Amino acid sequence: MRPSPLLPTLLLLVGCKTLPVDSAPAECDADTDADTDTDSDTDSDSDGDTDYTVCGDGSAPFSTVQDAVDAPTSGDVIRLCAGTYEETISVTDTELTIVGADGYQVTFLIGYLSPTISVIDATLELEELTIGGYTPAYTGVSGIRAEGATLSVHGCRIAGNLTKALQAFAIWAEDTTSTWESVTFEDNFVFGLASFTDCDTTLRHAVFRFNTYSPFTPDEGWLLFRMSGTEPLLRIYTEVRSENLVAPVIAAGRELAGV
């Protein structure tokens, strides 16, 4: 399929200090803490912190990320099994790490109607996750919202964020210290990719590709509604150029149809 030209996406920095990009390759610190019980889904490491496991199929103590976020004490680690978690997550007044399984290619956080992850007056580290979302608001955030926070994002992908209109962003931060290292920003269709106000922001070894304002060009995608002729069902179909966009575009279709 012939690629279509893409529009530039806005990265907005207001009252921020953005540190220079390093020239050395990014390093990943290995987790050397040994679990005390390899069969437990809530293991404690040598520092006294606890690992909580989340699996969407119900095979772990937690099946949603928010339930695991509500359980730990400060400093704990939440480990996600591979899969797609369709929920919005709120982290407030605590210190946590959320880690995806086996890289961002297999662990997805997708939120609808409000930010996928909200971090308020908290310290949060995100590792090996794909984070996307959809917001219909005319001013809103689809992916990550941080306020009064310390945020570290390592080895993640910010992808498949879809916003409806002007002044909506994939990432929005205010009064926040954040580090973005080895992060890929791709297939985001938003007015602005990120907005940082009164922040200290460090960006290292980031990749930006296929970010633009509209998910559709005339030869690259469509959204179809079809009523069933035999049962009371409305079926919604889409074809877009990236798998990252399927879930948020279907969500936009459901909002448009009022279902």
**Angle at 181 (CA atoms; ends 176, 182), nearest 5 degrees:** 150
In the chain, pLDDT over 70 holds for what percent of residues? 74
How many C-beta neighbours within 10 Å does residue 178 have? 23
Buried/exposed code over 139-175 (b: 16+ C-beta within 10 A; e: otherwise): ebbbbbbbbebbbbbbbbbbbbbbbbeeebbbbbbbe
The average confidence (pLDDT) of the chain is 78
Name the pLDDT band for 223 (thresholds 50, 70, 90). confident
pLDDT number for residue 40: 42
Higher-confidence residue of 165 and 50: namely 50
As a dihedral over the C-alpha atoms of residue 45, residue 110, residue 245, residue 258, rounded to 10 degrees, the angle is 170
Per-residue pLDDT at 137: 62
N residues, the chain: 259
- The set of residues, in sequence order, having a beta carbon less than 8 Å from that of 139 and lying 6+ positions away, is 166, 167, 168
Give dist(CA 216, CA 218) in Å, integer: 7
Per residue in 16-31, pLDDT tens? 444 444 434 334 343 4
Q: Which residues pair with 76 in a beta bridge?
A: 96
User: Out of 5-9, 59-63, 191-195, which region has the weakest mean confidence (pLDDT)?
Assistant: 5-9
pLDDT interval class at 85 (50, 70, 90): very high
Question: What pLDDT, on the 0 to 100 scale, is given for residue 27?
Answer: 41
Query: Are 190 and 167 contacting, i.e. CB atoms less than 8 angstroms apart?
Result: no
pLDDT band for position 176 (50/70/90)?
very high
Reduced to 3 states (helix: H, G, I; strand: E, B; else coil), residue 245 is: helix
Complete edge-to-edge strand list for the sheet that includes strand 150-154: 17-19, 200-204, 177-181, 150-154, 123-127, 95-99, 76-80, 50-54, 42-44
Q: Can you give the pLDDT at residue 38? A: 38
CB-CB contact of 82 with 57 (8 Å):
no
pLDDT tens, 96-131? 999 998 788 899 999 887 899 999 999 999 999 999
Q: Give me the amino acid identity at 241.
A: R
pTM tops 0.75: no
Query: Where do the structural domains in the chain lie, given as residue ranges?
Result: 10-18+28-209, 222-257
Average pLDDT over residues 234-246: 76
Structure tokens at 207: 């990749």
Q: How many whole angstroms separate alpha carbon 41 and alpha carbon 36? A: 11
Over the stretch 149-173, which tens digit does the pLDDT of each residue have?
999 999 999 998 887 666 778 999 9
Contact of 164 with 141, CB cutoff 8 Å: no
Residue range 191-215: average pLDDT?
A: 86
State the CB neighbour count (10 A cutoff) for residue 18: 13
